[in-house]
Structures are given as C-alpha cells and as structure tokens.
C-alpha cells in the first residue's frame, strides 16, 4: 500500500481474522495492524534491478508518447536548461511550508503562458498564477550550474494535470488563498506558490481563514468586488485540497491558449528562457 512518496518506505499489513463459529451467526472479526519500514539502509538486489530496469525502459517510452507532439524527437536525458540564480529547491519539506525557487518558477511559467508575454494582464483584468506545493514531487536540490534534463522536469511534475484559467471575484479569491494557507505552519500539499506579480503577507498566529494581512496583484490590493483571473491546475479549480472557494470561479478561454499539461507549459517556458533563473523573492511572507 502507499506509504509516503518516492519509495522511502515500504508498508506491511498484518490481518488477523477471527471467526466465531460458536453460534449460527458465524461472525467474522477483522483485526488489522500495519507498519512502515524505511528503505534508506536497504541494499539493492541485482536480480530485481534487472527487472526494474526493463520496466523502466517501457515506462520511459510511455511517458514520451503520452505527451504527444510536445516531446516528439526528445529523449529523457536531453538537457533542457541550466540552473542559475539560486539553487532549485524541490524538497518536500520546503515546498509544503515555504516559498521556494521551484514553486516560483512554475507559477511564472503558467502566468507567462496565459498572459501572452504581458505578465499579469489579460484583457485589462489583473491575472496571477499559482501552483500548490503538493504538485512538486522530486524532493531534491539542483545546485547552481547543474543542467536540468527532461527526465528531471517530468519527475518533478509527474501528475498529468492540465492548466485552467478561471475568473473569480476578489472575495472568493481571498477565501481560496486563506484555505490554501489554513494549516500553516504545518506542512501541506495545499501550500501556494504564486507568480512574480503577487505579494501575500499572512500571520499564522491569527485564526484560520483570517490570516492574510496583505494581498496584492500587480501592485494593487485585492478588492472583494473586483474580478481577477487566476491560472491553476484542474485539480485546484475543482476545489482540491479542501480549497472549495475556487469553485466560485468560472473557467475562461483565451484565443490561442488552450489548456495544456503543466509540465508541457514549463518545458516550453524553459526552451524560451534557456536557463532556470529562479529566486526566492518574498512573494509569500509570514509576518
């Protein structure tokens, strides 16, 4: 059964079945117990590795095919960008608690795709983007100077989620972001990473759903009555991670910008940039 991520643990289940046949009812009682076992000190088995490698080659082929024309002619070991600026941080403990370089970069890629180069503005409506920390799965660090491969990018974003552009009233946008932040400072896959044109200040000492002290898009305070556009995943747009306020948003369409896989959008953005120059800039501030 699923125990954490990236095979860091293996789960075992013991199931005791007690049958009481002392009367006509023949009652059965199930008594389960389970445990998680760390794999950090387990040495690999040569025979198993052969099987895994064979399966991995098949999986690699399916990954490339599943992206259609977007990855045509590419190999998973192809270099797609160089890491510059700051270390690219995808560690689970960070992306689920704090602003990170990886979250910032993905949010900026989404914003760029839907803003058509005019970062933060679509049809005179303030637009932002965000990605939830649980979407980023690599749990690693890429130092400055490292080359990022296609495999790296796809392993960081393994879910086949597609992008959505929703239009939402300011009061519901604020509620949604409160819901994304409601369990802070505990780690949560709902933790939001926002695009470059957003500043959110929040206080974890305040009651849940009332923690945001400042919320700005394009240098302007978010107004309850104003409509905004937000780029999110289809998972978030449907109220995933318990952030139900997103369901008040209405999905929008922009000519020439169909919904695409998040990983495809990020890869295309990397091709344009040729380097991954992400930084932690104080977009989300715990005050």
pLDDT digits (tens, 9 = 90+) for 61-70: 888 888 878 8
Task: Reply yes or no on whether the pLDDT at 95 is more than 90.
Answer: yes
Specify the residue for token string 């490698």.
53
pLDDT tens for 154-182 read 999 998 899 999 999 999 999 999 999 99
DSSP assignments along 205-268, one per residue: TSPTT--EEEEEETTEEPPTTSEEEEEEEHHHHTTGGG-GGGGG-EE--BTTB---BHHHHHHH
Average pLDDT value over all residues in the chain = 89
Task: Reply yes or no on whether the pLDDT at 136 is more than 70.
Answer: yes
Task: Reply yes or no on whether the pLDDT at 199 is more than 60.
Answer: yes
pLDDT tens for 209-260 read 999 999 999 999 999 999 999 999 999 999 998 999 999 999 887 666 667 8
Q: How far apart are CA 265 and CA 70, in angstroms?
A: 10
Question: In the prediction, which pLDDT does 24 show?
Answer: 63
The total number of residues written for the chain in this structure: 287
Question: In the prediction, which pLDDT does 7 show?
Answer: 79
Within 8 A by CB and 6+ apart from 160, the residues are 66, 261
pLDDT tens for 2-56 read 677 777 888 888 988 888 776 666 688 888 898 888 888 888 888 988 998 899 8
Q: How far apart are CA 56 and CA 41, in angstroms?
A: 23
Task: Reply yes or no on whether the pLDDT at 116 is more than 80.
Answer: no
């Amino acid at each position: 059964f699923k125990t954490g991520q990236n095979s860091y643990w293996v789960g075992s289940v013991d199931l005791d079945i007690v049958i009481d046949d002392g009367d006509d009812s023949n009652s059965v009682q199930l008594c389960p117990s389970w445990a998680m076992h760390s794999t950090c000190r387990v040495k690999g088995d040569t025979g198993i590795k052969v099987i895994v490698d064979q399966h991995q080659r098949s999986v690699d082929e399916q990954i490339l095919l599943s992206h259609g024309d977007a990855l045509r002619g590419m190999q998973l070991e192809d270099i797609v960008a160089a890491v510059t600026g700051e270390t690219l941080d995808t560690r689970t403990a960070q992306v689920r608690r704090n602003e990170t370089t990886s979250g910032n970069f993905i949010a900026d890629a989404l914003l760029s795709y839907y803003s058509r180069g005019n970062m933060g503005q679509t049809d005179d409506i303030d637009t932002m983007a965000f990605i939830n920390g649980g979407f980023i799965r690599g749990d690693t660090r890429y130092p400055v100077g490292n080359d990022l491969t296609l495999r790296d990018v796809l392993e960081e974003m393994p879910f086949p989620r597609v992008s959505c552009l929703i239009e939402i009233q300011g009061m519901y946008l604020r509620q949604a972001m409160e819901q994304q932040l409601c369990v802070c400072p505990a780690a949560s896959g709902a933790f939001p990473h926002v695009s470059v044109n957003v500043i959110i200040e929040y206080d974890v000492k305040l009651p849940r759903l009332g923690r945001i002290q400042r919320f700005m898009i394009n240098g302007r305070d978010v107004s309850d009555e104003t409509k905004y556009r937000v780029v999110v995943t289809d998972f978030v747009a449907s109220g995933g991670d318990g952030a139900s306020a997103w369901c008040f948003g209405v999905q929008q369409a922009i000519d020439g910008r169909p919904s695409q896989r998040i990983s495809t959008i990020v890869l295309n953005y990397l091709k344009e940039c040729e380097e991954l120059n992400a930084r932690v800039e104080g977009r989300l501030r715990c005050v």
